[in-house]
Structure 1
Amino acid sequence: MPETVAAAVTRTPSGRLALAASPEPIALGPLDGRYQSAVAPLVDYLSEAALNRDRVAVEVEWLIHLTNNNVLPGAGPLTPEQQEKLRGIVTEFDAGSVTELAEIEAVTVHDVKAVEYYIARRLPAIGIENLTAMVHFGCTSEDINNLSYALGVKGAVEEVWLPAASALVKQIEAMAEENRAVPMLSRTHGQPATPTTLGKELAVIAHRLNRQLDRVSKTQYLGKINGATGTYAAHVASVPGADWQAVAQSFVEGLGLTWNPLTTQIESHDWQAELYADVARFNRILHNVCTDIWSYISIGYFRQIPVAGATGSSTMPHKVNPIRFENAEANLEISNGLLDTLGATLVTSRWQRDLTDSSSQRNIGVAFGHSLLAISNVAKGLKALDVAEEVLAADLDTNWEVLGEAIQMVMRAEAIAGVEGMENPYERLKDLTRGQRVDAARMQEFVSGLGLSPGAEARLLALTPGKYTGIASQLVDHLK
């Protein structure tokens, strides 16, 4: 038998096998490893491969735009077949394309130049090799990059993040509707306070989140294609007769973006900072949702539905931990750390250009990934909750002192109406209720001895903590 040649073994300095040398790539970060399935849709928009595909798309559309509009003398419109084949470079962009681009970039040491060469290689097969010089015509790298990032972020937000976030809010709205009339003790400063309903509190959450979604949905994704310092200098020098501003505006708007007419070499990224601030605000509200739901679980307002085969603790068999909400908290914090950094750094650039945005923008996908993962976890966590109405009712029944507010307000109204003996209502209720529990019998005895008008006394004697919710259930209708 032939002698077997042992494969070379790579080890770390500590003597352990080097996992980085594994034939199968091992993810460094959790989004590409443990949580990959939850964030996979973002790969089509915010990965390096997606960025390169969008770069190819922008270059191809620029070439078609220039020829269709006869901008350059001698380069008239392409045939429909030629345009279809050009666009096929984009639609057929695959893993092999990623590899080929990487090989070209290894030589050019420039990512956008690699895209230019990648497209140029394919023009002979389309029969337009004479237009090779028109690929990347008049453009600086940032002309292609700013448009590509805008397309990628727009796609990620509109096709992935917004649908997921909107579905979560709809889920919360459904819970609000279902529980609109379920009375619940409020807690202000952690202390028992005027009762509300569970549905109304969930409606508050949904309303807050919806406002942020509305802001995100109205984002303007800006773009420019005006040359090395935003002056169209090379454009005018090479083709002085063209209306380059009109050409640029129609091209950018044709991509579904908003044209930015005034820039340096870079599109200023202000729209990105605005968007990331809105997404971060959504994240912060959702973080507050997680901590509140976690707290309600801890006091028994929600029961967690056990998952067959799941383990809550490695040593305490009884536990069902609120891990979905804890996981979401952490991921929302990480997402916001990145979003805040992106919003702060992307709006600054030294003079007409520096490259800090190049590295920063490569983390956009990570920021959205952690937010998307959190949204997924909250949605799953909410599905596993059951409202413990008996716990909510018992909590209300042991806090009759919360009716003190109602009683003293009725006394004030009675005093205004001329009923005698209604002096110092706040102080009298304060003496009765502050820092002590008052049961139903004691509260009704107090009310009966106030000397209220018959109608007012009857209303208060019929009142219980569970009925003292005002119009909370009606307020849920604002979600409609």
Structure 2
Amino acid sequence: MTDSSIFPDPVYKDTVLAPLFDHARNDHAEGFRRIDRAHLVMLDRTGILPREVSAQIARALIAIDQEIDPEALHYTGAYEDYFFLRQAELKAKLGADMGGRLHTARSRNDIDHTLFKLALKARLDALLTEARALLAAMIDTAERERETLIVAYTHGQPAQPTTFGHYLAAAIEVLIRDIERLEAARVTVDLSSMGAAAITTSGFAIDRQMMADLLGFAAAQRNSYSCIAAVDYITSSYSAIELLFLHLGRLIQDFQVWSSFEVAQIHVPNAFVQISSIMPQKRNPVPIEHLRHLASQTVGTARMTKDIMHNTPFTDMNDSEGETQAAGYRAFDSGSRVLRLLAAFIPALRINQDRVAQNTDRACITITELADSVVRREGVSFRQAHEIAAQTAKAVVAAGESLTKGGYAPFCAAFKQAVGTEARLSAEDFAKIVSPAYFVAVRDRFGGPAAAPMTEALTSYREALADFEAQAQAVAACEAEAAQALDAAFSALMEAR
């Protein structure tokens, strides 16, 4: 029987404290180091700590970082958590009074949320880098495939011809908006909680903006209660992640269907194909399955992390902290795998043009343009032209013919029956009108698959990518400048005597 008066209870230690300690040392050791140094610089510059005290603390922090390898630590229960272990080391080197001065005007509340924001920013930046790489790969592939015909499906059935480039362009636009959502979430994360202390800031003359600058944040989060209570930096980040991979999952599902033997619209090269252990004829595009389930895992993890915030009190609480953060980081890991694999997979795909031509002819998917052309050339209403085209398609399918080779006679019969006169369209005109290349070429409206709108669209996508890259470079420069400033300020403290 254990002594319930002694902390920690062994079961509590194993089930809660040890996992939290491991999470802190694995994911936040560098954040603790940066926060300690920045807070010390701020306390020194504001005069809250005398220079000679700041210098001694700085040298002690250096010694701790040199002597303690976070990866080698194991939780013993001697200290409540990783924070208190660092505090104990500081006091051991400087004495209880001197060692305790670093914690002036701060709390684990503002430290924790700042730690989580530092970790989220780094992970969002890495994810955004991979999302931009995918975007670039998709734009390049859409450019390459801008004239490559495919069958477009609605409700799971062949609908109209378009190009693979036009299809990818649709997905590109969604990806651009998803990147914008990730960037917007990062803006919310990029607000420092330091200086809020427990809830209400401090009676000491702290400089919250200085802390934000030293840690590489865009600004200090204004309301101190919000710093420790608002979790929208978490929910906005994981909402954006959830949507990104939900949307990519739809694209991946199309690839699964299009690569099937029956549809065979896309050809997956051997580099992305695995074989059966027993059936020698099988070509299994297994990466598609991995893409799909990894995307689903990412969606599920992101949604779980976001949903944990539901019905929690508007205050600092463990629900939004260590264990939730650690669980959420898995979404970045699985999401990274999806983005990197997709960026390699999509450019490798090729369209099986023979099968596309067969399916196009067999399914009569150019029939919409026949109806449109009848309206323009014969002067009948679209509803009447639609009926003529429908009768033509039914006759072709019933006869087992193709629209291009066997559709002209049924068209003439349907036209005469509906209108009462002979159609003016020649057989040559009919063959041109029902060709998929013509179908695409005449759809040269804004956003269509024809050459002109695709050129305009691809230009706009490259401009969006360039803007994203410029923004990322600016963010990286600010982060690097802040890191250099912190190192220089901290080094200056160590040199003081």
TM-score, normalised to structure 2, is 0.73
Matching residue of 1:176? 142
Alpha-carbon distance in structure 2 between the residues aligned to 1:73 and 1:187? 69
2:69 to 86, 96, 105: 96
Shift of 1:285: 1.1
1:352 match: secondary structure? coil
Residue of 266, 291, 298 corresponding to 2:253: 291
**Which among 361, 376, 384 is matched to residue 325 of structure 2?**
361
Residue 403 of structure 1 is matched in structure 2 by 366
For residues 196 and 123 of structure 1, do their structure 2 counterparts lie closer, same or farther at Cα, with a shift above 3 Å needed?
farther
Q: Is the 8 A contact 2:151 2:356 kept in 1?
A: yes
User: 1:272 and 1:372 mapped to 2: Cα distance?
Assistant: 18
Which shifted more, 271-280 or 424-433? 424-433
2:210 is aligned with what amino acid?
Answer: S
With over 3 angstroms needed to count, the CA separation of the structure-2 counterparts of 1:183 and 1:139, relative to structure 1, is: same
Structure 2 residues without counterparts, runs of 5 or longer:
1-22, 416-420, 463-497
Counterpart CA distance in 2 for 1:179 and 1:383 is 10
Output one character per residue of 1:315-344: Cα deviation in whole Å (capped at 9) or x when no partner: 112222121111121112122112112112
CA distance in 2, matches of 1:120, 1:317: 69
Counterparts of 1:257-296 in structure 2, within 5 Å, are 257=217, 258-264=219-225, 266-296=228-258
Query: Out of 225, 240, 243, which is 2:194 matched to?
Result: 225
Shift of 1:278: 0.9
Of 161, 181, 185, the match for 1:215? 181
Provide the rounded CA distance (Å) in 2 between the counterparts of 1:302 and 1:114.
Answer: 57
- Partner Cα distance (1:187, 1:448) in 2: 28
Q: What is the alpha-carbon distance in structure 1 between the residues aligned to residue 90 and residue 422 of structure 2? A: 87
Secondary structure (helix, strand or coil) at the match of 2:264 reads coil
Q: Which amino acid aligns with 1:340?
A: R
Aligned partners of 2:239 and 2:306 also within 8 Å: yes
1:432 to 392, 395, 411: 392
Q: Which amino acid aligns with 2:223?
A: L
Please tell me whether residue 467 in structure 1 is matched to residue 438 in structure 2.
Answer: yes
C-alpha separation in 2, matches of 1:148 and 1:94: 22
Equivalent of residue 119 in structure 2, options 148, 152, 164: 152
SS of the aligned residue for 1:106 comes to coil
**Residue 389 to residue 407, structure 1, CA distance change in 2 (3 Å):** closer
Deviations 1:356-402 (A, max 9, x none): 22321121221211111222333343355333222222322333x32
TM-superposition CA deviations, 1:394-446 (whole Å, max 9, x none)? 322333x323322222333456xxx4798822222222224962532443335
* CA–CA distance in structure 2, aligned partners of residues 189 and 435 of structure 1: 23
Candidates 151, 158, 170, aligned match of 1:185: 151
| Contact 1:183–1:467 (Cα < 8 Å) also in 2 | no
User: Could you say which structure has the higher helix fraction?
Assistant: 2
Report the 3-state secondary structure (helix = DSSP H, G, I; strand = E; otherwise coil) of the residue aligned with 2:150: strand
Counterpart Cα distance in 2 of 1:86 and 1:346: 38
Q: Tell me the distance in 2 between the aligned counterparts of 1:97 and 1:267.
A: 29
- Partner of 2:152: helix, strand, or coil? strand
One-letter code of the match for 1:99? A
Q: Secondary structure at the match of 1:162?
A: helix
- Contact 1:414-1:453 within 8 A present in 2 as well: no
Number of the residue aligned with 2:28? 51
Q: Counterparts of 1:462 and 1:209 in 2: how far apart (Å)?
A: 36
Contact 1:224-1:267 at 8 Å conserved across structures: no
State the one-letter code of the partner of 1:280: E
How many angstroms apart in 2 are the aligned matches of 1:163 and 1:136? 36
Give me the identity figure in percent: 15
2:266 to 302, 320, 325: 302
> Is 1:392 aligned to 2:356, yes or no?
yes
1:203 aligned partner, one-letter code? A
1:138 to 101, 105, 111: 105
Deviation at 1:73, TM superposition (A): 5.5
Out of 345-354 and 466-475, give the one that drifted further. Answer: 345-354
1:145 alignment partner AA? D
Q: Distance in 2 between matches of 1:164 and 1:316?
A: 36
CA distance in 2, matches of 1:94, 1:433: 80
Aligned to 1:248: 208
Pairing of 1:29-40 with structure 2 (within 5 A): none
Aligned to 2:169: 203
Q: What is the TM-score with the length of structure 1 in the denominator?
A: 0.75
Whole-Å separation in 2 of the counterparts to 1:421 and 1:361: 61
**Letter paired with 2:39:** W
**Quick check: 1:180–1:197 contact (8 Å CA) kept in 2?**
yes
Q: Distance in 1 between matches of 2:154 and 2:315?
A: 52
Q: 1:476 aligns with which of 454, 467, 482?
A: 454
Which whole-Å CA distance do the structure 1 matches of 2:162 and 2:325 have between them?
A: 44
- Letter of the aligned partner of 1:200 in structure 2? H
Between the aligned partners of 2:130 and 2:158, the Cα distance in structure 1 is 35
Deviation of 1:453 after TM superposition, in Å, equals 8.6
Shift in CA distance, 88/398, structure 1 to aligned 2, threshold 3 Å: farther
CA distance in 2, matches of 1:365, 1:73: 37
Q: Distance in 2 between matches of 1:131 and 1:306?
A: 66
Q: How far apart are 1:452 and its partner, in Å?
A: 8.3
The whole-number CA distance in structure 2 between the counterparts of 1:421 and 1:227 is: 70
Higher RCO, Cα 8 Å, sep 6+: 2
Which whole-Å CA distance do the structure 1 matches of 2:396 and 2:182 have between them?
A: 47
Q: 1:317 to 1:119 in 2, by over 3 A?
A: farther
Q: Secondary structure at the match of 1:161?
A: helix
Letter matched to residue 250 of structure 1: M
Q: Is the 8 A contact 2:109 2:316 kept in 1?
A: no
Select which of 74, 79, 93 maps to 1:108.
79
Cα displacement (A) at 1:151:
0.8
Residue 320 (1) aligns with residue 296 (2): no
**AA paired with 2:392?**
L
| Residues 137-166 of structure 1, C-alpha deviations (whole Å, 9 max, x = no match) | 2222121111111111111221x2121222
- For 1:441 and 1:382, the matched residues in 2 are separated by 34
3-state SS of the aligned residue for 2:228?
Answer: coil
**Structure 1: where are the runs of 5+ without partners?**
1-45
Distance 1:457 1:441 in 2: 10
| Equivalences, count | 410
- Corresponding residue SS for 1:194: strand
TM-superposition CA deviations, 1:284-332 (whole Å, max 9, x none): 1111111111111112122222249x85212112222121111121112
Q: Distance in 2 between matches of 1:86 and 1:196?
A: 67
